[in-house]
Chains A and B, each alone.
Chain A
Amino acid sequence: QVHLVQSGGEVKKPGASVKVSCKASGYTFTNYGVNWVRQAPGQGLEWMGWISAYNGNTKYAQRLQGRVTMTTDTSTSTAYMELRSLRSDDTAVYYCTRGGLGTVTHSDYWGLGTLVTVSS
């Protein structure tokens, strides 16, 4: 079955960077894409962006453009999301999800989430 195993929680200071990993198993990694979604404490869901695991094409939410980079390592079936210049309002649970191959689509499988806390 499909599993997305995410890296552990992080505590960062404002201005720092964080890189979250997501190791996929149970399916052919390069046949799908990866969406990243975050959820601030007690809040709703926010789509951050998508990467194709086939060719590395990306699409980012405009409000994060310039601060976020999504990459994949097909040799280990792992996706990464790096967020830079962290602010307190970046405190959230970050989810990786399985998405579409050639275009952005819905998320049919989700990781358990990685809590990133930004605090001085």
Chain B
Amino acid sequence: EIVLTQSPGTLSLSPGERATLSCRASQSVSSNFLAWYQQKPGQAPRLLIYGASNRATGIPDRFSGSGSATDFTLTISRLEPEDFVVYYCQQYGSSPLTFGGGTKVEIK
């Protein structure tokens, strides 16, 4: 099973700043099948990025994904108030699919 480690656990930033979230895999993710999800309190997760760098439908271009093999990054170029929530990475290159433990982006 591929273990995904997200860092930091909590990221304290101000609106307008740039956020860089990391997701490290215990082994190489096949075909860079890595997704990022955003979860607001009391809501279901929402797909942001798939295939490491492809934005999902309707996702603003301030969200971008990069990386390959074992190291992946979600970047939010300029934080909006609604972006201060939790983010999860997921690998779907091999079964079982696994999620990282999440990064909470909070207002500094």
Which residue of A62, A107, A112 contacts B96 across the interface (Cβ within 8 Å)?
A: A62
Instruction: Establish whether residues A47 and B96, one from each chain, have CB atoms under 8 Å apart when the complex forms.
Output: yes
Instruction: Establish whether residues B95 and A104, one from each chain, have CB atoms under 8 Å apart when the complex forms.
Output: yes
Give the residues from 23 to 69 in chain B that come closer than 8 angstroms, CB to CB, to chain A: 33, 35, 37, 44-47, 50, 56-57
The answer to whether the Cβ of A52 comes within 8 Å of any Cβ in the partner chain is no
Residue among B33, B57, B92, B97 facing the most chain A CB atoms (10 A cut-off): B97
Tally of contact residues, B, Cβ under 8 A: 21
Instruction: Establish whether residues B101 and A44, one from each chain, have CB atoms under 8 Å apart when the complex forms.
Output: yes
7 residue pairs from A and B, CB less than 8 Å apart:
A37-B45, A45-B37, A47-B97, A105-B92, A106-B33, A107-B37, A108-B57
- Separation of A50 and B95 alpha carbons in the complex (Å): 10
Instruction: Establish whether residues B44 and A110, one from each chain, have CB atoms under 8 Å apart when the complex forms.
Output: yes
- Separation of A61 and B98 alpha carbons in the complex (Å): 10
The answer to whether the Cβ of B90 comes within 8 Å of any Cβ in the partner chain is yes
Beyond A44-B99, A45-B88, A47-B99, 16 additional contacts (C-beta under 8 Å) are A44-B101, A45-B45, A45-B99, A45-B102, A47-B96, A47-B97, A59-B95, A95-B44, A104-B92, A104-B97, A105-B92, A106-B33, A106-B50, A108-B50, A110-B45, A110-B46
Least CB distance from A41 to B in Å reads 12
Which A residues are within 8 Å of any B CB, using their own CB?
35, 37, 44-47, 50, 59, 61-62, 95, 104-113
Given contacts A44-B88, A59-B95, A62-B96, contact A107 B47 (CB under 8 A): yes
Give the residues from 83 to 108 in chain B that come closer than 8 angstroms, CB to CB, to chain A: 88, 90, 92, 95-102
